[in-house]
Every structure is written in structure tokens, then in C-alpha cells.
Structure 1
Amino acid sequence: MSSLFTKTAVLIFVLGGSLQAFSQTRSISVSNKSSLVLKDKAIAVTRAGLPGAEEGKFPLILTASGDTIPSQLDDINGDRKWDELFFVLDLAPKQKLKLSLNWVNFVPEFTMRTSVRFGKRSSATLPVQPKVADTAYIDEMPKKIGYQPYQTDGPSWENDKVGFRHYFDGRNAKDLFGKRVTWMSPETVGLTAQGAVEDNYHVLKDWGRDVLPVGNSIGLGGVALLVKDSLARLGVTVNDTRNNIKSTSFHIYSEGPVRSVINFHYMDWSTQGRVYQVNETPMIWPGMHAYQNTVRVSGLKGDESLLVGLPDVSNDGPLTEVNIGDWTLLYTHDKQSYNKEFWLGLALLVPKKAYQGSITAPTTGNLSSSYLAKLKISENKPVTYYAVGGWELADPGFINPQYFRNYVTGLAHQLSAKVKVKIE
């Protein structure tokens, strides 16, 4: 198919019996600068770097042999305009791949390899309805209103390897959904047949289950602050009736076949006699047992560090630290699931340049049972890291601690590998 395209022609394509017009075709050159085999390597091209992009058009990317590369246009800052063209590629060591980029007036359909699920009920007697955004206010804690309004306690996101969820009910911890399948888990997870909120996801299903006990930790990749020498939890615990955040907003920025992007904005977080604004943007794309998170904090006085959590609720093993490429890797490996039923490897990949060591939270209190990576943070400047969960039923190799170590060190190498993208 690709041999039909030229840079000057406007061509006609038949899809589903209708005529579709291609606009001017450009080429994308992607070069793997590393000696690694790259699998599902994330490729993002900014809107400014895409000459010829047209409003109301959609990308269709083809290889030289005419195969289609699934891609999407993503809003990553919440202004309801797309900011990046995104796709993933497999690349051999030092491989240079030439693709054609065609702007078309239809939305190409691809297999969904990422997903976001979010639902809320407006009263204890009404069914949950799907939503793309919501705001939770300071006095709307479940303990105060008498019921849990959110499906799975808040939004969940997943790829073809693993899933995660965020406790949007004021706790703001992040949990792990283990997956046994590559397809996306049902939209009804966490609901009864009548649409009521139900904790039915701690039972093993064909798709998987919630496998990680979180307690009063901040979960896998959850955030907090170290203010001078004091731990400051972003939010409250399950038994609190009032939040320490004035309002928390959630938005699904993008949900697509190869990437899903969500956002949390914490307005007026009062702690340690100070008030902060916090913004975090989790993303997930296919192929990795992990998600990416980017955090910004404003209102800083200069004596704070960002803390990123690794649960220590059901772990009897040590915390291991390794430097790989651009990243510092912190990980644990144990039967750290509910009732110690399954082997789990948990890891953080944090930027080596920002890493200031780790601390251990107390065993009791409103922020407890966590290893905490301490990161340098500056006023409203982004800090990006990855949180990894390896469940034995997702990959039996994760039973072996060396296998998990090899996986996360390999992921760090993959993320450090440089790829050059050129639009012509």
C-alpha cells in the first residue's frame, strides 16, 4: 500500500465502503541509537514538530511494506487540544526505520492496548455512571457521607500487562491490579449487576485481581512530601471525615489504543502550616509492567523533598537499590500480596539526578509501612518516574527474584535508550 503514496499526491482510500482522502504524505525516520533490542519503545512527536498537521485530520502511519503502526493524538496538558503524536515501535539494535505519515479524515481503529475506567454514583441508592472527570471536595470523604461513591475507590488504568488504581476518596494511594490476560479488563469491575459499588476485585478472575495490600502506605508510586524532617501525607486515611486538601480534580486527558493519560490536581493542600498545589499526570503505554507519573508541586519554601512510595505492608525482604542508565532503581521481591498468596516484585525507577536516598516510614500512623524514595524538587518543575509491579500470574518468571531484577534493570535500560526521530 505504501508504494502508492507520494509527497505531492492527494489519494483516495476505501475504508468500510466510503471514500477517504489522504492529505500530503510525510516520512518519519526513527533511529535506534542504542545497541539494545527495543520492544514497544515509546515515540512521542510534539505538535510543533509536525509540519502539515491539519485540524480534524488523524494520523495513519505505515511501514515501507504497508503495515499500519497504531498511533494516536494525545492531549497531555488538559487544554482539550492534542499536543503529541504517540506510537510504540519494536526496533533492532542500531536500526533505522522509515515510516510514512498520512493525515486522513477518519479515525483509524486499532486494538485497545491501554484503558482507563472511572465511575461514580451520586447517592448510595443510585447506580454508578461512567465519567471522564470529577472533583472531590474537602468534606466529601466516604466516612463523612456514609458510602463509597467511586467504582474501585477511584480511577483505574491498565495496559496489556498490568493495571493500577488510585484511591480518589481522599487517601490518594496507588494500588496494583495484577493481570493474567492481554485484553482490557471489564468496565464492570468493582460493580454489582445493578451498578452498585462492590469490592469484588480481590477475588481471582480470568482477567486478574487486586493483589497488593496498601494499608496506610501511599501505595505503589504514590506521592508525599518531606517538609524539613516531617512526613506530610497528601490526603487522609480511610477513617478520616475531612480531607487536608480543599478540592481534588480528576480528568481523563486521553484514552487510546497505545497510550492513556490521566491527571490529578490537588488544590490547596494544607500541611505542616503550609499550603501547596500539586499536579500529577500518570501515563501508561503497552508492553511494560509499569506506569509513568509526572509530578509538579508549587508553594515550595525550599526545604522540601518529594517522596515516592513503595509499599512495605506485607514485605519481609530487603529494599535493593541499583543505578542503571538515567535511573536509580529501588525494588523489593517477596510474597507481598494479600495473605502472602502470590509472589510480587515492586519497583520504582526514579531519576538518578534527582535522587537523594530513601527513608522508611513508621509502622503506624497516617503515612506508614512504606519505603520512600526522596527526590529533589523545585517550584512547579516536573519530576518523572516509573512504578513497576511484577505478579507471578502475569509472568511465572516473577517468582524468581533474579528474574524480576533482570526485568526491571532491563526496563531501565530500555527507558534510557535514545531514539532519534526526524520528520521529513
Structure 2
Amino acid sequence: MKTVKYIIIVFMFISILACKNEETKAVSEQVAKKEVKSPVKTYAEISIAEGGKWIDGERGHKEYNGGTSFKNVNQLQVPDNHTDHTWYLRYEGPGWENNKIGYRLYLDWRNAIDIFGKTTDNMVLSQVGQDGFDSYHETQSWGQDILKVGKGLGIGSIGRLVDNNVLHFKEVDNTHATIKNTESNSTVTIQYKGWKTGKDKIDLKSTLSIAPDQRYTKHTIQPSKAINGIVTGIVNHGVNFIQKENKKWAYIATYGKQTLVPDNLGMAIFYKLETTTEVKKGAYDYLIEFKPTTKPIVFYFLGAWEQEVDGIKTEKAFITYLNEKLAELNNNDKL
């Protein structure tokens, strides 16, 4: 009888262990599934004001007055009334970011690209400008707007050099923006129709794409007409200028105290030598001029802020980083 009881007890004990093992296995599988699912690492948006109306502003152009909230849209035909500081677009245009850095494009005649320095690897753009139009110029929990663009191109935007003057986008028939977010990247596409500079009038497609874990934006432009003078560049804040060529690709860069904080920021543009004519110093920027073409032109631009998570904190480390990227481009023809 005792033997039977003993066998029953052992059997029950084994059954309990088996059940616990199954439960542990199920919990482990659930944890593994959660760990496999990666957090969002890129994001792009464009956000318009609602609840107000267009009025005559004090600066001689229309302003969007009385907006009570912002709404994100996947595409936007920019209103004819819109120009700089109309208060219609949250932080003045589309923004895109990843877990390293954020950027924004002034979607008006300035057409410059600005940098949002981030002290976190979380996505933050949906918060920016919600509590006041200019709040992002001051230190926030996530970072801040760190670049003073002024009359320049900022970093990696497009202009046209005519008679040694960089013309922005003052005369455009219409501008259309599209936003796309996928698991692998986030993209802002701008279609400029009827961009008039000098004696030429063209269409221009600009595609700005950001992927996870890297500082750079891939910028692809395609003009509808082969004209000379189309340029990109880096705004000149009087810090150290760096330039290097290697086989097929090259870069220009700046490094030093050139933020609104102020503290150290490195900026760079990587460009393919066969697509460009020269690098020169303009009135406000270091410029890269592209050869006339109607084919897509690809280049990369980036900012590296010392306060970012695991940030680059010295010029020497920044140059090492740039040279690694340059070698990668020359080996693979892409980043």
C-alpha cells in the first residue's frame, strides 16, 4: 500500500514539474517574441494647423491666425498663402528622424534644412512645437533645434547658383509634399512644379530618406531639365572646414562650436565625384555644384552633435567617422 502511495506521489510531483516547465517555456517564448519586436527607429511627418483662418499679417503677407490644434497629413499641396512664419505648418515644414538625430525642411521659399539635436534615442517629432511655435529653440527634455540657418542652405538642401548668388525657391508654381513611414525607413518627398531661377523654369523632385541607427539622410534629386548651377551645401559658421576625395566619392564637412547652445557639431555631405563640377565657397555656405542632368542624383548629408546618445565629441573622432563612411561608399557605392 505504501509503495502505491509512493508511486502516486512521485507521479504527481513529476506532473507538477512538467506543467511548470511548460509554463516557463510559454513565458520564455512570449518574452522572446517581445524582445524580437524592435521599437520604431524612424519617423517622418508633416502637420498643419486647424481651427483658424488666413488673415493679412503685420509683415505684409498672409498668416494663419487662431489655429487651435495640429493635424498630421500624409500629403499636402502647400497653400498659395503659405510662406515663412505663417504659423500654418508645425515647425515650418516636414520633419524626419531616427534614433540618432532629427531634421526639418522649411517648406517655403527658404527651402533650407535644419537639425534637431536629440539627447534621446526615442522618436520625438510628434511632440515638437505642440506647446508653442518656437519652444524647440530652447532646451527640451528630448534636445532642441541646434542649427542657425540664417540666409544659408542649412545642411543638404537645394538651391541654384546664378551670377554667384544662391537662389532659393522664391518663384515656384506649386509645391507638394508626401510622407511615408515603413519598417525599414521614413521618407519625405517634395515635388516642386515650375521652379523659376534666372531664365530657366523646371520641375524638381526631392526625396529625403532616413534609416535606423545612422546619422545621415539620403537625398535624391531629379531635375526635369538639365541646367547648370544646381547646388547643395553646408551653412558656413566660421568653424573648421574639411574636404576629402577618395576614388568615386568625396565629402565636405565642418566641425566646431556652431550650434545655438553653443557646443560642438559636425556636419558633412558625401557626394559622387562624377555627378559634380566643383566645390566652392558662397556668400553663406560651402557649396557643391552638380553637373547638368535629368537623371537622379544621390548624395548623403549628416549632423553629429556632441550631446546625442553616444555622441561624437571631438573633431578627430568626427573625421575618423567620416573616413569610415567614405570607405564604405567607395566599396559599396552606397551607405
Judge same fold: TM > 0.5, yes or no. Answer: yes
* Kept in 1: contact 2:120–2:309 (CA 8 A): no
Structure 1 residues 69 and 221, CA gap change in structure 2 (3 angstroms): farther
After the TM superposition, which residues 156-167 of structure 1 pair with which residues of structure 2 at under 5 Å, given as runs? Answer: 156-167=95-106
Instruction: Indicate the SS of the match to 1:329.
Output: strand
Instruction: Report the alpha carbon displacement of residue 131 of structure 1 after superposing the two structures with TM.
Output: 1.0
State the partner residue of 1:184: 123
Matched, 1:310 2:238: no
Cα offset for 1:230?
4.1
**What does the per-residue CA deviation read over 1:246-295, in whole Å, with 9 as the maximum and x for residues that have no partner?**
1111001x212330111001111112122111110000001211111000
3-state SS of the aligned residue for 2:319? helix
C-alpha separation between the residues in 2 aligned to 1:246 and 1:173? 18
Task: List gaps (5 residues or longer) in structure 1.
Answer: 1-65, 71-108, 236-242, 363-368, 420-424
**SS, match of residue 212 in structure 2:** coil
Equivalent residue runs for 1:143-292 within 5 Å:
147-192=86-131, 198-227=133-162, 229-235=163-169, 243-252=170-179, 254-292=180-218
Aligned with residue 404 of structure 1, among 310, 318, 322: 318
Q: d(CA) in 2 for partners of 1:142 and 1:371?
A: 24
Q: 1:354 aligns with which of 271, 275, 285?
A: 275
**Pairing 1:102-113 to 2, within 5 Å after superposition:** 110-113=38-41
- TM (norm. structure 1) is 0.63
Aligned-pair identity in percent equals 23
Q: How many equivalent residue pairs?
A: 288
- Could you list the runs of 5+ residues in structure 2 that have no partner in the other structure? 1-31, 53-64
2:229 and 2:113 mapped to 1: Cα distance? Answer: 19
Change (3 A) 1:67 1:408: farther
- SS for the counterpart of 1:222 is coil
CA distance in 1 between partners of 2:196 and 2:239 (Å): 35
Give 2:74's match in structure 1, choosing from 118, 132, 143. 132
Residues 397 and 161 of structure 1, relative CA distance in 2, 3 Å threshold = closer
User: How far apart, CA to CA, are the structure 1 residues paired with 2:246 and 2:147?
Assistant: 26
SS for the counterpart of 2:207 is strand
Matched to 1:378, the amino acid is T
Q: Deviations over 1:142-164 (max 9, x none)?
A: 56xxx310011111101111110
Letter in 1 for 2:260: Y
Deviation at 1:188, TM superposition (A): 2.1
* Higher share of residues assigned helix: 2
Coordinate RMSD, CA, aligned: 2.4
Higher relative contact order, structure no. (Cα contacts within 8 Å, ≥ 6 residues apart): 1
For the residue of structure 1 that corresponds to 2:136, the secondary structure is coil
Distance 1:132 1:308 in 2: 26
Partner of 1:329: 251
Match of 1:114?
Answer: 42
User: Which structure has the greater CA radius of gyration?
Assistant: 2
Q: Is the 8 Å Cα contact of residues 164 and 282 (structure 2) preserved in structure 1?
A: no
Query: How much has 1:347 moved relative to structure 2?
Result: 0.6
CA contact (8 A) 1:346 1:388 kept: yes
| Contact 1:269–1:277, Cα closer than 8 Å, also in 2 | yes
8 Å CA contact 1:310, 1:346 repeated in 2: yes
| Shift, 1:374, TM fit | 1.3
Question: Shift of the alpha carbon at 1:226?
Answer: 2.5
| Letter of the structure 2 residue corresponding to residue 136 of structure 1 | V
Residues 234 and 269, structure 1, Cα contact 8 Å, conserved in 2: no
Q: Any idea what SS the aligned residue of 1:398 has? A: coil
